[in-house]
Structure 1
Amino acid sequence: MSAIYSVKEIYIYPIKSLAGISLESAKAEEMGFENDRRWMLIDAENQMLTQREHRIMSQFYPQISNGKISITFQDQKQEFSISEHLENVIEVNVWDDKSEVVEVNLETSKWFSQHLGFQCKLVKILKNGARKHESSRLKETFNVSLADGYPYLMIGSKSLDFLNDKLDEKITIKRFRPNIVVSTENPHEEDDFKTFAIGEVQFKNIKPCGRCVMVNNDPENGRLKKEPLKTLSKYRNVDNSVLFGTNIVSLNSGIIRVGDEVIF
């Protein structure tokens, strides 16, 4: 590929299904970017909570500073240390994968319970290997965080441009919750990337990402809309899966930065 491809945006989502954080640089690890989806909310039956059922989760905004994560919801704020957790291990499922997690602290769980209106806990995955995900396509097993399936989601800029050309109401890339947004020349060409390097890190493409109704949740206000899934399903439906963006894994640890070239 002769074109210059480069990183336009980097995002992490410290707590699964809450709002993301835009970064200028990030440390890639096997499980995903550092502090990306290492935490999630579970209900009283230890089932994971996501925006699919609780759209209000998109209105909780995290920030990371000085070893602490602060969460803002409306005019309320809660803070906890990145390193803190209780000792009791809880076994949860992230889709079909079993994962071992621990509760962060009782105060933070109570805060989320009050604002969501039902009992829940904030939990953390502690170590690499606490959750394994098997790729049915590659017959490989990956150590992953609490993300839906794979450590990283990458989207090309032209894929969003192409979609927006078809929509009456334009949307931002935040609808799709990517980790890496790269400048591209053609829509969806990221689906065909094989292995490539960004900054210090080698990445491997696994498969295009099948999307669910969650992309219809407007992150600006938490309201469910008909788009973009309705339009995407007309031209990106493959084997009953609506594709947008691609799942990738890192082959080593290192730093990537906005502006880094994608090297094939």
Structure 2
Amino acid sequence: MSAVHVVKEIYIYPIKSLAGISCNSAFAQEMGFENDRRWMLVDAENQMITQREHRIMSQFYPQISDGKISITFKDKKHEFSINEHLESVLKVNVWDDKSEVVEVNRETSKWFSQHLGFECKLVKIIKNGDRKHESSRLKETFNVSLADGYPYLLIGTQSLDFLNEKLDDKITILRFRPNIVVSSGIPHEEDDFKTFSIGEVQFKNIKPCGRCIMVNNDPENGRLKKEPLKTLSKYRNVDNSVLFGTNIVSLNSGIINVGDALVF
């Protein structure tokens, strides 16, 4: 079984709801990959900001180099240090989870405010334990990042291929914002993975991922489409949730690479 499943792509999304970065390798931690969704934009009332309401966020492209994150939006660019932040602790919510964060700096918040057209701040989660997420299914609590729920999303290649067979306009895996894409033999078999290892890291499957309207946002142009949610809802609707990909957690830290096999 393990020979079939090989890591094909790895992605991190440093700032929640902005574009992602394709990686050849990544350092897995309990909270998610290093630098994955450690930052988030919040509005004047410290409420999280996402592509669900502001599709233009998909047009902000981050890169990481020499300890800095640079953001490109159209012909504008801004950068800040990965480690910089102000001292004052802010209380924010990511859905039902409370989290402690800090603002990166005033200049960065002002830059995002100018280009999004409303007052906002860029905040950062500093340490493991600053946000906890409880799994009602497992009755366990996990230390997580600023991702919607769980630290990692894994998708098998056949799941996307099977969906694209049903779509007139084919889409890429970027619609679903995965962290790990693996080669697979059967559509949606990743739903039933238990525990497995990739490289140095052991992972545990938590549950299939319920999808929202955000997957209809075309990341290439920020336009809202009717697909793929319309088609997915016809064959992946379970208990009023449209499923695609699966949420996993890491049981230890370590590096995984594109080309690593999944060992079950």
Task: Give TM class, smaller chain.
Answer: over 0.9
**Is the Cα–Cα contact under 8 Å of residues 3 and 262 in structure 2 kept in the other structure?**
no
Which whole-Å CA distance do the structure 2 matches of 1:117 and 1:29 have between them? 35
| Matched residue, 1:204 | 204
Structure 2 counterparts to residues 173-184 of structure 1, below 5 A: 173-184=173-184
Q: Is the 8 A contact 1:156 1:245 kept in 2?
A: yes
Q: Determine the C-alpha separation between the residues in 2 that align with 1:2 and 1:255.
A: 18
| Alpha-carbon contact 1:91-1:101 (below 8 Å) kept | yes
1:24 aligns to 2:24 (yes or no): yes
Task: Tell me if structure 2 keeps the 8 A contact 1:90–1:101.
Answer: yes
Q: SS in structure 1 opposite 2:111? A: helix
The CA deviation string for residues 117-154 of structure 1, in whole angstroms up to 9 with x for no partner, is 00000000000000000000000000000000000000
| Residue 3 (structure 1) shift | 4.4
2:225: which partner in 1? 225
- Give the unaligned 5+ runs of structure 2: none
Cα deviations across residues 60-93 of structure 1 (Å, max 9, x unaligned)? 0000000000000000000000000000000000
Residue of structure 1 equivalent to 2:252: 252
CA contact (8 A) 1:132 1:141 kept: yes
Match of 2:88 in 1: 88
Measure the CA separation in 1 of the matches of 2:5 and 2:206. 19
Q: Distance in 2 between matches of 1:148 and 1:66?
A: 28
SS state at 2:218 partner: coil
TM-superposed deviation, 1:4: 2.3
TM-score w.r.t. the length of structure 1 is 0.99
- How many percent identity over aligned positions? 86
Cα displacement (A) at 1:2: 5.8
Alpha-carbon shift at residue 222 of structure 1 (Å) = 0.1
Measure the CA separation in 1 of the matches of 2:239 and 2:89.
Answer: 38
For 1:112, the aligned partner's letter is: F
Gap regions ≥5 residues in structure 1: none
- Report what 1:76 is aligned to: 76
> Residue type matched to 1:77 in 2?
K
- The structural deviation recorded for 1:101 is 0.2
Which letter does structure 1 place at the counterpart of 2:196? F
SS at 1:56 equivalent: helix
Equivalent pair of 1:6/1:262 in contact (CA under 8 Å): yes
Instruction: Determine the structure 2 residue equivalent to 1:167.
Output: 167
Report runs of 4+ in structure 1 exceeding 2 Å deviation. Answer: 1-4
Q: What residue identity is the alignment partner of 2:158?
A: K
The CA RMSD over aligned residues, in Å, is 0.5
Partner of 1:239: 239
Which SS does the other structure have where 1:160 is aligned? helix
- Alignment of 1:127 with 2:127, yes or no, is yes
Amino acid at match of 1:17: S
- For 2:42 and 2:183, the matched residues in 1 are separated by 36
Partner Cα separation in structure 2 for residue 89 and residue 190 of structure 1: 38
Letter in 1 for 2:224: L
Distance between the aligned counterparts of 1:5 and 1:167, measured in 2?
Answer: 25
Is the partner of 1:260 in helix, strand or coil? Answer: coil
- Report how many residues are paired: 264
Contact 2:89 / 2:100 at 8 angstroms: preserved in 1? yes
Residue 14 of structure 2 is matched in structure 1 by: 14
Residue 28 of structure 1 deviates from its aligned partner by 0.1
Do residues 61 (structure 1) and 61 (structure 2) align?
Answer: yes
Q: Assess if the C-alpha contact under 8 Å between 1:3 and 1:185 holds in 2.
A: no
The two structures have a TM-score, normalised by structure 2, of: 0.99
Corresponding residue for residue 216 of structure 1:
216
Distance of 2:169 and 2:3 partners within structure 1? 30
